Structure 1
Amino acid sequence: MSGRATAAPTDPSRTSALAAGLRRLGVRPGARLLVHASLAGTGLRAERLRDALTEVLGPRGTLVVPAFTPANSRTSSAHLTRTAGMSEAQVTAFRERMPAFDAASTPSEGMGVFAETVRTAPGARRSGHPQTSFAALGGDAGRLSAGHPLTCHLGEESPLGALCRERGQVLMINVGFSVCTAFHLAEYRIPKPPLRMYACVVKVNLPGRRQGEEWTAYEDVALDDSDFPEIGRAFPPSELREGRIGGAGAMLFGIPEAVGHAVHWMTENRR
Protein backbone atom coordinates (compact mmCIF):
# COMPACT_ATOMS: atom_id res chain seq x y z
CA MET A 1 0.00 0.00 0.00
CA SER A 2 1.12 3.52 -0.68
CA GLY A 3 1.64 6.22 1.92
CA ARG A 4 3.20 4.03 4.62
CA ALA A 5 5.43 5.57 7.20
CA THR A 6 8.54 3.70 8.28
CA ALA A 7 7.68 1.77 11.42
CA ALA A 8 9.71 2.43 14.54
CA PRO A 9 11.77 -0.52 15.76
CA THR A 10 10.08 -2.59 18.41
CA ASP A 11 11.55 -4.07 21.57
CA PRO A 12 11.42 -7.89 21.23
CA SER A 13 11.22 -8.42 24.98
CA ARG A 14 8.24 -6.09 25.37
CA THR A 15 6.56 -7.61 22.33
CA SER A 16 7.03 -11.07 23.83
CA ALA A 17 5.52 -9.90 27.13
CA LEU A 18 2.46 -8.61 25.28
CA ALA A 19 2.23 -11.87 23.37
CA ALA A 20 2.25 -13.81 26.65
CA GLY A 21 -0.58 -11.65 27.96
CA LEU A 22 -2.61 -12.22 24.80
CA ARG A 23 -2.17 -15.98 25.13
CA ARG A 24 -3.29 -15.86 28.78
CA LEU A 25 -6.41 -13.99 27.71
CA GLY A 26 -7.21 -16.71 25.18
CA VAL A 27 -5.93 -15.49 21.79
CA ARG A 28 -4.92 -18.59 19.85
CA PRO A 29 -2.89 -19.40 16.72
CA GLY A 30 -4.92 -19.53 13.52
CA ALA A 31 -7.75 -17.35 14.85
CA ARG A 32 -9.53 -14.65 12.89
CA LEU A 33 -9.46 -11.75 15.28
CA LEU A 34 -11.28 -8.41 15.00
CA VAL A 35 -9.53 -5.88 17.24
CA HIS A 36 -10.83 -2.60 18.66
CA ALA A 37 -8.17 -0.73 20.63
CA SER A 38 -7.73 2.72 22.13
CA LEU A 39 -4.12 3.13 23.19
CA ALA A 40 -4.36 6.63 24.67
CA GLY A 41 -3.11 6.62 28.24
CA THR A 42 -2.22 2.92 28.23
CA GLY A 43 1.50 3.14 27.46
CA LEU A 44 1.00 0.56 24.71
CA ARG A 45 2.78 1.09 21.41
CA ALA A 46 0.73 0.34 18.32
CA GLU A 47 3.58 -1.40 16.51
CA ARG A 48 4.38 -3.60 19.51
CA LEU A 49 0.76 -4.60 19.93
CA ARG A 50 0.40 -5.37 16.22
CA ASP A 51 3.58 -7.45 16.25
CA ALA A 52 2.54 -9.29 19.41
CA LEU A 53 -0.85 -10.13 17.88
CA THR A 54 0.65 -11.41 14.62
CA GLU A 55 3.14 -13.45 16.64
CA VAL A 56 0.37 -15.14 18.61
CA LEU A 57 -1.97 -15.61 15.64
CA GLY A 58 0.81 -17.12 13.56
CA PRO A 59 0.95 -17.47 9.76
CA ARG A 60 -2.50 -19.05 9.54
CA GLY A 61 -4.23 -16.46 11.71
CA THR A 62 -5.61 -13.11 10.56
CA LEU A 63 -5.72 -9.77 12.35
CA VAL A 64 -8.65 -7.53 11.29
CA VAL A 65 -9.45 -3.92 12.21
CA PRO A 66 -12.18 -1.47 11.19
CA ALA A 67 -10.84 1.11 8.72
CA PHE A 68 -14.01 3.18 8.36
CA THR A 69 -14.27 6.50 6.52
CA PRO A 70 -17.69 7.87 7.59
CA ALA A 71 -17.08 11.43 6.40
CA ASN A 72 -16.98 10.15 2.79
CA SER A 73 -20.78 10.14 2.87
CA ARG A 74 -22.86 13.31 2.60
CA THR A 75 -25.55 11.53 4.65
CA SER A 76 -23.31 10.72 7.63
CA SER A 77 -23.23 12.56 10.95
CA ALA A 78 -19.47 13.02 10.49
CA HIS A 79 -19.99 14.86 7.20
CA LEU A 80 -22.89 16.91 8.55
CA THR A 81 -20.72 17.99 11.49
CA ARG A 82 -17.96 19.11 9.13
CA THR A 83 -20.33 21.16 7.00
CA ALA A 84 -22.39 22.62 9.84
CA GLY A 85 -22.71 26.39 9.54
CA MET A 86 -21.77 26.47 5.86
CA SER A 87 -23.97 28.13 3.28
CA GLU A 88 -25.54 25.99 0.54
CA ALA A 89 -22.90 27.23 -1.90
CA GLN A 90 -20.09 26.41 0.52
CA VAL A 91 -21.45 22.91 1.12
CA THR A 92 -21.65 22.32 -2.64
CA ALA A 93 -18.06 23.52 -3.11
CA PHE A 94 -16.88 21.40 -0.19
CA ARG A 95 -18.46 18.27 -1.65
CA GLU A 96 -16.98 18.94 -5.07
CA ARG A 97 -13.51 18.95 -3.49
CA MET A 98 -14.01 15.72 -1.55
CA PRO A 99 -11.72 12.97 -2.87
CA ALA A 100 -13.20 9.58 -3.67
CA PHE A 101 -12.35 6.69 -1.37
CA ASP A 102 -9.16 4.87 -2.36
CA ALA A 103 -8.63 1.58 -0.52
CA ALA A 104 -4.87 1.86 -1.00
CA SER A 105 -4.37 5.31 0.46
CA THR A 106 -7.41 6.87 2.15
CA PRO A 107 -6.78 7.00 5.92
CA SER A 108 -9.43 5.68 8.26
CA GLU A 109 -11.27 8.22 10.43
CA GLY A 110 -11.71 7.93 14.16
CA MET A 111 -10.52 4.32 14.33
CA GLY A 112 -7.36 5.11 16.28
CA VAL A 113 -3.63 4.74 15.76
CA PHE A 114 -3.69 0.95 16.17
CA ALA A 115 -6.12 0.45 13.28
CA GLU A 116 -3.99 2.73 11.08
CA THR A 117 -0.87 0.80 12.06
CA VAL A 118 -2.49 -2.41 10.84
CA ARG A 119 -3.90 -0.79 7.70
CA THR A 120 -0.50 0.55 6.65
CA ALA A 121 1.52 -2.56 7.54
CA PRO A 122 3.35 -4.37 4.72
CA GLY A 123 1.10 -7.11 3.34
CA ALA A 124 -2.12 -5.62 4.72
CA ARG A 125 -5.27 -5.80 2.60
CA ARG A 126 -8.35 -3.59 2.76
CA SER A 127 -11.93 -4.16 1.67
CA GLY A 128 -13.41 -1.81 -0.88
CA HIS A 129 -16.40 -0.26 0.85
CA PRO A 130 -16.11 3.55 0.73
CA GLN A 131 -17.52 3.98 4.23
CA THR A 132 -17.09 0.80 6.27
CA SER A 133 -13.96 -0.93 4.99
CA PHE A 134 -11.89 -3.37 7.04
CA ALA A 135 -8.12 -3.85 6.96
CA ALA A 136 -6.66 -7.31 7.47
CA LEU A 137 -3.18 -8.69 8.02
CA GLY A 138 -2.26 -12.37 7.95
CA GLY A 139 -3.01 -15.66 6.26
CA ASP A 140 -6.57 -14.95 5.16
CA ALA A 141 -6.30 -11.18 4.69
CA GLY A 142 -6.90 -11.24 0.95
CA ARG A 143 -9.95 -13.47 1.08
CA LEU A 144 -11.58 -11.75 4.05
CA SER A 145 -11.18 -8.30 2.51
CA ALA A 146 -12.51 -9.29 -0.94
CA GLY A 147 -16.08 -8.78 -2.12
CA HIS A 148 -17.46 -6.00 0.09
CA PRO A 149 -20.44 -4.66 -1.91
CA LEU A 150 -21.59 -1.06 -1.64
CA THR A 151 -25.08 -2.04 -0.42
CA CYS A 152 -23.79 -4.05 2.54
CA HIS A 153 -21.97 -1.91 5.08
CA LEU A 154 -21.75 -4.49 7.86
CA GLY A 155 -24.01 -7.34 6.82
CA GLU A 156 -23.62 -10.90 5.61
CA GLU A 157 -21.63 -9.96 2.49
CA SER A 158 -19.14 -7.82 4.40
CA PRO A 159 -15.91 -9.01 6.03
CA LEU A 160 -17.82 -8.89 9.33
CA GLY A 161 -20.30 -11.45 7.99
CA ALA A 162 -17.42 -13.70 6.92
CA LEU A 163 -15.78 -13.39 10.33
CA CYS A 164 -19.01 -14.44 12.00
CA ARG A 165 -19.50 -17.46 9.72
CA GLU A 166 -15.93 -18.57 10.43
CA ARG A 167 -16.33 -18.19 14.18
CA GLY A 168 -13.99 -15.25 14.53
CA GLN A 169 -13.42 -13.44 17.80
CA VAL A 170 -13.39 -9.84 19.01
CA LEU A 171 -10.59 -8.43 21.14
CA MET A 172 -11.36 -5.11 22.81
CA ILE A 173 -8.53 -3.20 24.50
CA ASN A 174 -9.30 -0.12 26.60
CA VAL A 175 -12.69 0.34 24.91
CA GLY A 176 -16.28 -0.56 25.76
CA PHE A 177 -19.19 -2.11 23.92
CA SER A 178 -20.20 1.25 22.45
CA VAL A 179 -17.70 0.53 19.64
CA CYS A 180 -18.50 -3.16 19.23
CA THR A 181 -18.82 -3.43 15.44
CA ALA A 182 -20.01 -7.04 15.72
CA PHE A 183 -23.36 -5.82 17.10
CA HIS A 184 -24.04 -4.12 13.75
CA LEU A 185 -24.33 -7.50 12.04
CA ALA A 186 -27.30 -8.21 14.31
CA GLU A 187 -29.08 -5.20 12.77
CA TYR A 188 -29.16 -7.10 9.47
CA ARG A 189 -30.60 -10.22 11.14
CA ILE A 190 -33.49 -8.78 13.11
CA PRO A 191 -36.96 -9.05 11.51
CA LYS A 192 -37.64 -6.29 8.98
CA PRO A 193 -34.66 -4.03 9.78
CA PRO A 194 -35.26 -0.37 8.99
CA LEU A 195 -33.61 0.89 5.80
CA ARG A 196 -32.30 4.28 4.75
CA MET A 197 -30.56 5.93 1.83
CA TYR A 198 -26.82 6.63 1.86
CA ALA A 199 -24.69 8.65 -0.56
CA CYS A 200 -20.91 8.74 -0.95
CA VAL A 201 -18.27 9.67 -3.48
CA VAL A 202 -16.63 6.76 -5.30
CA LYS A 203 -14.21 6.14 -8.14
CA VAL A 204 -15.72 5.02 -11.43
CA ASN A 205 -14.29 3.73 -14.69
CA LEU A 206 -16.05 5.42 -17.59
CA PRO A 207 -15.89 3.79 -21.06
CA GLY A 208 -13.33 5.54 -23.23
CA ARG A 209 -12.38 7.97 -20.48
CA ARG A 210 -9.98 8.18 -17.58
CA GLN A 211 -11.02 7.08 -14.15
CA GLY A 212 -13.34 9.62 -12.57
CA GLU A 213 -15.34 10.30 -9.42
CA GLU A 214 -19.05 10.49 -8.82
CA TRP A 215 -21.59 10.59 -6.04
CA THR A 216 -23.65 7.45 -5.77
CA ALA A 217 -26.75 6.74 -3.66
CA TYR A 218 -27.79 3.35 -2.35
CA GLU A 219 -30.09 1.77 0.23
CA ASP A 220 -28.92 -0.26 3.19
CA VAL A 221 -29.83 -1.04 6.78
CA ALA A 222 -30.10 2.03 9.03
CA LEU A 223 -27.19 1.54 11.40
CA ASP A 224 -27.68 2.67 15.00
CA ASP A 225 -25.12 2.13 17.76
CA SER A 226 -26.88 4.26 20.40
CA ASP A 227 -27.96 1.24 22.45
CA PHE A 228 -24.73 -0.76 22.13
CA PRO A 229 -23.58 0.00 25.70
CA GLU A 230 -26.88 -1.39 27.01
CA ILE A 231 -26.57 -4.48 24.80
CA GLY A 232 -23.06 -4.96 26.13
CA ARG A 233 -24.15 -4.70 29.76
CA ALA A 234 -26.61 -7.53 29.12
CA PHE A 235 -24.00 -9.75 27.44
CA PRO A 236 -23.62 -12.90 29.57
CA PRO A 237 -20.35 -12.80 31.54
CA SER A 238 -19.89 -16.49 30.78
CA GLU A 239 -19.25 -15.56 27.14
CA LEU A 240 -16.44 -13.12 28.04
CA ARG A 241 -12.80 -13.57 28.91
CA GLU A 242 -11.47 -10.51 30.70
CA GLY A 243 -7.93 -9.55 31.62
CA ARG A 244 -5.22 -6.98 31.08
CA ILE A 245 -2.88 -6.44 28.18
CA GLY A 246 0.11 -4.30 29.01
CA GLY A 247 -1.81 -2.76 31.90
CA ALA A 248 -4.92 -1.98 29.82
CA GLY A 249 -8.26 -3.68 30.38
CA ALA A 250 -9.18 -6.20 27.68
CA MET A 251 -12.09 -8.45 26.69
CA LEU A 252 -12.19 -11.40 24.31
CA PHE A 253 -15.38 -13.01 23.01
CA GLY A 254 -16.79 -14.87 20.03
CA ILE A 255 -18.42 -12.96 17.19
CA PRO A 256 -21.26 -15.52 16.70
CA GLU A 257 -22.10 -15.32 20.40
CA ALA A 258 -22.07 -11.52 20.39
CA VAL A 259 -24.24 -11.33 17.28
CA GLY A 260 -26.69 -13.91 18.58
CA HIS A 261 -27.04 -12.04 21.87
CA ALA A 262 -27.53 -8.72 20.06
CA VAL A 263 -30.19 -10.17 17.74
CA HIS A 264 -32.18 -11.41 20.74
CA TRP A 265 -31.77 -8.10 22.60
CA MET A 266 -32.73 -5.95 19.60
CA THR A 267 -35.73 -8.13 18.76
CA GLU A 268 -37.02 -7.77 22.30
CA ASN A 269 -36.15 -4.14 22.98
CA ARG A 270 -35.95 -2.10 19.79
CA ARG A 271 -39.12 -0.53 18.49
Structure 2
Amino acid sequence: MDEMGLLERSGGPVTRSRISRELAALGLGDGDVVMFHTRMSAIGYVAGGPQTVIGALQDVVGLRGTLMVTCGWNDAPPYDFGTWPQDWQDVLRAEHPAYDPDLSEADHNNGRLPEALRRWPGAVRSRHPDAGFAALGAAAAELMADHPWNDPHGPGSPLAWLVAHNGRVLLLGAPLDTMTLLHHAEALAEAPGKRFVDYEQPILVQGKRVWRRFHDIDSEEGAFDYSAVVPEGQEPFDAIVRDMLAAGIGRQGSVGAGDSYLFEAADVIDFGTAWIEDKLSK
Protein backbone atom coordinates (compact mmCIF):
# COMPACT_ATOMS: atom_id res chain seq x y z
CA MET A 1 0.00 0.00 0.00
CA ASP A 2 1.32 3.47 -0.88
CA GLU A 3 1.86 6.26 1.64
CA MET A 4 -1.44 7.99 0.90
CA GLY A 5 -3.30 4.74 1.37
CA LEU A 6 -1.61 4.16 4.72
CA LEU A 7 -2.35 7.75 5.77
CA GLU A 8 -6.01 7.35 4.92
CA ARG A 9 -6.28 4.07 6.81
CA SER A 10 -4.78 5.54 9.98
CA GLY A 11 -6.49 8.92 9.78
CA GLY A 12 -3.21 10.78 9.25
CA PRO A 13 0.34 10.19 10.46
CA VAL A 14 0.74 7.80 13.37
CA THR A 15 3.14 9.62 15.68
CA ARG A 16 5.13 8.66 18.76
CA SER A 17 2.76 10.48 21.09
CA ARG A 18 -0.29 8.85 19.49
CA ILE A 19 1.18 5.37 19.78
CA SER A 20 2.10 6.04 23.41
CA ARG A 21 -1.43 7.20 24.26
CA GLU A 22 -3.06 4.24 22.56
CA LEU A 23 -0.69 1.73 24.14
CA ALA A 24 -1.45 3.18 27.57
CA ALA A 25 -5.17 2.90 26.81
CA LEU A 26 -4.63 -0.75 25.90
CA GLY A 27 -3.13 -1.32 29.35
CA LEU A 28 0.63 -1.21 28.89
CA GLY A 29 2.26 0.63 31.75
CA ASP A 30 5.34 1.86 33.55
CA GLY A 31 7.77 -0.87 34.53
CA ASP A 32 6.28 -3.51 32.22
CA VAL A 33 8.46 -6.22 30.72
CA VAL A 34 6.92 -6.78 27.32
CA MET A 35 7.70 -8.91 24.31
CA PHE A 36 6.21 -7.31 21.22
CA HIS A 37 5.43 -8.29 17.64
CA THR A 38 4.62 -5.60 15.09
CA ARG A 39 3.22 -5.29 11.60
CA MET A 40 3.95 -1.72 10.59
CA SER A 41 1.62 -1.65 7.59
CA ALA A 42 -1.33 -2.63 9.79
CA ILE A 43 -0.73 0.38 12.05
CA GLY A 44 -0.76 2.80 9.11
CA TYR A 45 1.72 5.49 8.14
CA VAL A 46 4.10 5.55 11.12
CA ALA A 47 6.01 8.82 11.02
CA GLY A 48 9.62 7.79 11.58
CA GLY A 49 9.13 4.03 11.28
CA PRO A 50 10.71 1.61 13.79
CA GLN A 51 12.46 4.40 15.70
CA THR A 52 9.06 5.93 16.46
CA VAL A 53 7.54 2.63 17.59
CA ILE A 54 10.45 1.77 19.89
CA GLY A 55 10.47 5.29 21.28
CA ALA A 56 6.75 5.12 22.01
CA LEU A 57 7.12 1.78 23.77
CA GLN A 58 9.96 3.21 25.86
CA ASP A 59 7.80 6.20 26.77
CA VAL A 60 5.12 3.89 28.14
CA VAL A 61 7.22 1.29 30.00
CA GLY A 62 9.69 3.87 31.28
CA LEU A 63 13.18 3.40 32.65
CA ARG A 64 12.07 0.49 34.84
CA GLY A 65 10.55 -1.37 31.91
CA THR A 66 12.02 -3.71 29.31
CA LEU A 67 11.26 -4.41 25.65
CA MET A 68 11.91 -7.81 24.07
CA VAL A 69 11.75 -9.18 20.50
CA THR A 70 12.45 -12.46 18.74
CA CYS A 71 15.42 -12.21 16.38
CA GLY A 72 16.71 -15.43 14.91
CA TRP A 73 19.48 -15.15 12.32
CA ASN A 74 18.64 -14.03 8.82
CA ASP A 75 21.72 -15.52 7.15
CA ALA A 76 21.97 -18.79 9.04
CA PRO A 77 22.93 -21.86 7.01
CA PRO A 78 19.85 -23.91 6.08
CA TYR A 79 18.92 -26.82 8.33
CA ASP A 80 19.29 -29.27 5.46
CA PHE A 81 22.70 -28.24 4.09
CA GLY A 82 23.92 -31.67 5.19
CA THR A 83 22.03 -33.09 2.21
CA TRP A 84 23.99 -30.96 -0.27
CA PRO A 85 26.77 -32.46 -2.42
CA GLN A 86 29.84 -32.97 -0.24
CA ASP A 87 31.96 -30.36 -2.02
CA TRP A 88 29.27 -27.72 -1.41
CA GLN A 89 29.09 -28.69 2.24
CA ASP A 90 32.87 -28.42 2.52
CA VAL A 91 32.84 -24.89 1.08
CA LEU A 92 30.07 -23.80 3.46
CA ARG A 93 31.80 -25.28 6.50
CA ALA A 94 35.08 -23.66 5.54
CA GLU A 95 33.82 -20.12 5.04
CA HIS A 96 30.32 -19.49 6.40
CA PRO A 97 30.64 -16.64 8.95
CA ALA A 98 29.90 -17.46 12.56
CA TYR A 99 26.85 -16.07 14.30
CA ASP A 100 27.84 -12.81 15.97
CA PRO A 101 25.24 -11.23 18.30
CA ASP A 102 26.61 -7.79 17.45
CA LEU A 103 26.68 -8.17 13.66
CA SER A 104 24.35 -10.94 12.48
CA GLU A 105 21.06 -9.54 11.20
CA ALA A 106 17.76 -10.56 12.75
CA ASP A 107 15.54 -12.70 10.55
CA HIS A 108 13.87 -10.40 8.02
CA ASN A 109 10.72 -12.54 8.22
CA ASN A 110 10.16 -11.10 11.69
CA GLY A 111 9.75 -7.60 10.27
CA ARG A 112 11.77 -4.41 10.74
CA LEU A 113 11.40 -3.95 14.49
CA PRO A 114 13.61 -6.84 15.76
CA GLU A 115 16.58 -5.67 13.70
CA ALA A 116 16.00 -2.07 14.80
CA LEU A 117 15.78 -2.99 18.48
CA ARG A 118 18.76 -5.34 18.54
CA ARG A 119 20.90 -2.50 17.06
CA TRP A 120 19.60 0.04 19.59
CA PRO A 121 22.22 1.42 22.00
CA GLY A 122 22.15 -0.64 25.18
CA ALA A 123 20.27 -3.60 23.68
CA VAL A 124 21.31 -7.11 24.74
CA ARG A 125 21.03 -10.09 22.40
CA SER A 126 20.98 -13.72 23.49
CA ARG A 127 23.73 -16.07 22.42
CA HIS A 128 21.62 -18.62 20.53
CA PRO A 129 21.99 -18.21 16.74
CA ASP A 130 18.73 -19.77 15.60
CA ALA A 131 16.27 -19.11 18.43
CA GLY A 132 17.80 -15.85 19.63
CA PHE A 133 16.08 -12.85 21.17
CA ALA A 134 17.03 -9.27 22.01
CA ALA A 135 15.96 -6.99 24.83
CA LEU A 136 16.33 -3.36 25.81
CA GLY A 137 15.80 -1.95 29.28
CA ALA A 138 16.20 -2.65 32.96
CA ALA A 139 15.80 -6.46 32.84
CA ALA A 140 17.45 -7.01 29.44
CA ALA A 141 20.59 -8.74 30.70
CA GLU A 142 18.60 -11.09 32.97
CA LEU A 143 16.20 -12.06 30.18
CA MET A 144 19.01 -12.82 27.73
CA ALA A 145 21.49 -14.52 30.08
CA ASP A 146 22.80 -18.04 29.37
CA HIS A 147 20.30 -18.90 26.64
CA PRO A 148 20.39 -22.74 26.53
CA TRP A 149 22.05 -24.16 23.42
CA ASN A 150 19.63 -27.08 23.35
CA ASP A 151 15.88 -26.77 23.97
CA PRO A 152 16.24 -22.99 23.50
CA HIS A 153 12.46 -22.44 23.76
CA GLY A 154 12.18 -24.37 27.03
CA PRO A 155 13.22 -23.88 30.67
CA GLY A 156 15.96 -21.29 31.15
CA SER A 157 15.20 -19.61 27.83
CA PRO A 158 14.40 -15.92 27.38
CA LEU A 159 10.75 -16.97 26.99
CA ALA A 160 10.87 -18.71 30.36
CA TRP A 161 12.49 -15.64 31.93
CA LEU A 162 9.78 -13.45 30.40
CA VAL A 163 7.17 -15.47 32.28
CA ALA A 164 9.26 -15.44 35.48
CA HIS A 165 9.47 -11.63 35.30
CA ASN A 166 5.66 -11.34 35.12
CA GLY A 167 6.08 -10.25 31.52
CA ARG A 168 3.50 -9.44 28.92
CA VAL A 169 3.08 -9.98 25.19
CA LEU A 170 1.96 -7.22 22.83
CA LEU A 171 0.71 -7.92 19.31
CA LEU A 172 1.02 -4.45 17.81
CA GLY A 173 -0.96 -4.74 14.60
CA ALA A 174 0.60 -8.19 14.20
CA PRO A 175 -1.34 -11.34 13.27
CA LEU A 176 -2.37 -13.63 16.10
CA ASP A 177 -0.16 -16.42 14.81
CA THR A 178 2.98 -14.39 15.56
CA MET A 179 2.68 -15.27 19.27
CA THR A 180 6.22 -16.67 19.63
CA LEU A 181 5.69 -17.32 23.33
CA LEU A 182 3.56 -20.32 22.37
CA HIS A 183 6.76 -22.09 21.35
CA HIS A 184 7.54 -22.15 25.06
CA ALA A 185 4.15 -23.80 25.66
CA GLU A 186 5.04 -26.37 22.99
CA ALA A 187 8.38 -27.04 24.67
CA LEU A 188 6.65 -27.59 28.03
CA ALA A 189 3.59 -29.50 26.82
CA GLU A 190 3.48 -33.22 27.49
CA ALA A 191 1.63 -34.56 24.46
CA PRO A 192 2.36 -37.41 22.02
CA GLY A 193 4.07 -36.84 18.71
CA LYS A 194 6.29 -33.90 19.66
CA ARG A 195 8.68 -33.21 16.80
CA PHE A 196 12.30 -32.14 17.09
CA VAL A 197 15.09 -30.96 14.81
CA ASP A 198 18.86 -31.31 15.01
CA TYR A 199 21.03 -28.91 13.03
CA GLU A 200 24.47 -27.34 12.90
CA GLN A 201 25.44 -23.68 12.86
CA PRO A 202 28.74 -21.84 13.35
CA ILE A 203 29.22 -19.78 16.49
CA LEU A 204 32.11 -17.93 18.12
CA VAL A 205 33.87 -19.63 21.03
CA GLN A 206 36.57 -17.46 22.60
CA GLY A 207 36.82 -15.57 19.33
CA LYS A 208 37.14 -18.67 17.14
CA ARG A 209 34.55 -19.95 14.67
CA VAL A 210 33.23 -23.37 15.74
CA TRP A 211 30.46 -25.49 14.23
CA ARG A 212 28.02 -26.58 16.94
CA ARG A 213 25.12 -29.03 16.87
CA PHE A 214 21.75 -27.93 18.30
CA HIS A 215 18.58 -29.77 19.35
CA ASP A 216 15.18 -28.09 19.57
CA ILE A 217 11.47 -28.53 18.99
CA ASP A 218 10.60 -28.09 15.32
CA SER A 219 9.49 -24.45 15.45
CA GLU A 220 9.59 -24.13 11.66
CA GLU A 221 7.33 -26.97 10.49
CA GLY A 222 5.54 -27.30 13.82
CA ALA A 223 6.36 -29.01 17.11
CA PHE A 224 3.17 -31.05 16.74
CA ASP A 225 0.86 -32.19 13.96
CA TYR A 226 -2.14 -29.97 14.58
CA SER A 227 -4.05 -31.03 11.43
CA ALA A 228 -6.64 -33.05 13.37
CA VAL A 229 -7.59 -30.15 15.67
CA VAL A 230 -7.06 -27.02 13.54
CA PRO A 231 -9.10 -26.34 10.37
CA GLU A 232 -7.21 -26.55 7.10
CA GLY A 233 -5.74 -23.18 6.15
CA GLN A 234 -5.62 -21.86 9.72
CA GLU A 235 -2.33 -21.50 11.57
CA PRO A 236 -2.23 -23.45 14.87
CA PHE A 237 -1.11 -20.45 16.92
CA ASP A 238 -3.93 -18.38 15.42
CA ALA A 239 -6.40 -21.03 16.60
CA ILE A 240 -4.91 -21.12 20.11
CA VAL A 241 -4.90 -17.33 20.49
CA ARG A 242 -8.48 -17.03 19.21
CA ASP A 243 -9.59 -19.58 21.78
CA MET A 244 -7.63 -17.66 24.39
CA LEU A 245 -9.44 -14.44 23.54
CA ALA A 246 -12.79 -16.24 23.53
CA ALA A 247 -11.98 -17.43 27.06
CA GLY A 248 -11.56 -13.81 28.17
CA ILE A 249 -7.76 -13.83 28.24
CA GLY A 250 -6.08 -10.73 26.81
CA ARG A 251 -7.09 -7.18 26.03
CA GLN A 252 -7.87 -5.77 22.59
CA GLY A 253 -7.61 -2.20 21.33
CA SER A 254 -6.52 -0.08 18.40
CA VAL A 255 -3.10 1.43 17.83
CA GLY A 256 -3.12 3.53 14.71
CA ALA A 257 -5.27 1.65 12.23
CA GLY A 258 -4.33 -1.78 13.55
CA ASP A 259 -5.99 -4.14 15.98
CA SER A 260 -3.62 -4.77 18.87
CA TYR A 261 -3.68 -7.22 21.76
CA LEU A 262 -2.02 -7.36 25.18
CA PHE A 263 -1.60 -10.60 27.14
CA GLU A 264 -0.05 -11.68 30.41
CA ALA A 265 2.75 -14.10 29.53
CA ALA A 266 1.85 -16.51 32.35
CA ASP A 267 -1.74 -16.70 31.09
CA VAL A 268 -0.50 -17.49 27.57
CA ILE A 269 1.64 -20.35 28.85
CA ASP A 270 -1.02 -21.78 31.17
CA PHE A 271 -3.70 -21.68 28.49
CA GLY A 272 -1.45 -22.72 25.59
CA THR A 273 0.09 -25.68 27.40
CA ALA A 274 -3.31 -26.93 28.57
CA TRP A 275 -4.79 -26.44 25.06
CA ILE A 276 -2.03 -28.48 23.43
CA GLU A 277 -2.16 -31.26 26.00
CA ASP A 278 -5.96 -31.45 25.94
CA LYS A 279 -6.41 -31.31 22.16
CA LEU A 280 -3.52 -33.57 21.20
CA SER A 281 -3.77 -36.21 23.93
CA LYS A 282 -7.25 -37.40 23.00
Query: By the TM > 0.5 criterion, same fold?
Result: yes
Deviation at 1:145, TM superposition (A): 1.4
In 2: Cα distance, 1:261 partner to 1:20 partner:
29
Q: Are 1:203 and 2:204 counterparts?
A: yes
**Aligned residue number for residue 31 of structure 1:** 32
Alignment of 1:6-155 (within 5 A): 14-40=15-41, 42-44=44-46, 45-69=49-73, 72-75=76-79, 80=80, 87-109=85-107, 110-155=109-154
In 2: Cα distance, 1:88 partner to 1:38 partner:
40
Counterpart contact for 2:35–2:68, Cα < 8 Å:
yes
Counterpart contact for 1:73–1:131, Cα < 8 Å:
no
Q: Which moved more, 1:155-164 or 1:92-101?
A: 92-101
Counterpart contact for 2:19–2:53, Cα < 8 Å:
yes
In 1: Cα distance, 2:166 partner to 2:45 partner:
31
User: 2:40 aligns to what SS in structure 1?
Assistant: coil
One-letter amino acid of the structure 2 residue matched with residue 59 of structure 1: L
In 1: Cα distance, 2:239 partner to 2:157 partner:
25
In 2: Cα distance, 1:125 partner to 1:162 partner:
14
In 1: Cα distance, 2:259 partner to 2:64 partner:
27
Counterpart contact for 1:172–1:250, Cα < 8 Å:
yes
Deviation at 1:93, TM superposition (A): 2.3
Q: Which moved more, 1:109-118 or 1:92-101?
A: 92-101
One-letter amino acid of the structure 1 residue matched with residue 274 of structure 2: H
Counterpart contact for 1:67–1:116, Cα < 8 Å:
yes
Deviation at 1:246, TM superposition (A): 1.8
The alignment's TM-score, normalised by the length of structure 2, stands at 0.80
In 2: Cα distance, 1:175 partner to 1:95 partner:
36
**Aligned residue number for residue 212 of structure 2:** 216
Q: Are 1:240 and 2:276 counterparts?
A: no
Q: Which moved more, 1:63-72 or 1:86-95?
A: 86-95
CA offsets 1:202-260 (integer angstroms, 9 cap, x no match): 1123xxxxx32122113333332652122122113311211111222211111111111
Deviation at 1:87, TM superposition (A): 4.8
In 1: Cα distance, 2:16 partner to 2:97 partner:
37
Tell me the percent identity: 26
One-letter amino acid of the structure 1 residue matched with residue 67 of structure 2: L
Moved over 4 A (4+): 85-88
Q: CA RMSD in A?
A: 2.3
* 1:270–1:98 distance in 2 versus 1, CA, 3 Å: farther
* 1:265–1:98 distance in 2 versus 1, CA, 3 Å: same
Deviation at 1:90, TM superposition (A): 3.1
Counterpart contact for 2:74–2:104, Cα < 8 Å:
no
User: 2:260 aligns to what SS in structure 1?
Assistant: strand
**Aligned residue number for residue 237 of structure 2:** 228
Which consecutive residues of structure 1, in runs of 5 or more, have no partner in the other structure? 1-12, 206-210
Counterpart contact for 2:75–2:104, Cα < 8 Å:
no
**Aligned residue number for residue 231 of structure 2:** none
Deviation at 1:181, TM superposition (A): 0.7
Deviation at 1:70, TM superposition (A): 6.2
CA offsets 1:56-108 (integer angstroms, 9 cap, x no match): 10010001111111652542xxxx5xx7x975533542443321111111110
In 2: Cα distance, 1:49 partner to 1:70 partner:
22
User: 1:244 aligns to what SS in structure 2?
Assistant: strand
CA offsets 1:140-189 (integer angstroms, 9 cap, x no match): 11221111121132112111100112221110022222221110111121
One-letter amino acid of the structure 2 residue matched with residue 102 of structure 1: D
User: 1:262 aligns to what SS in structure 2?
Assistant: helix
Deviation at 1:16, TM superposition (A): 1.5
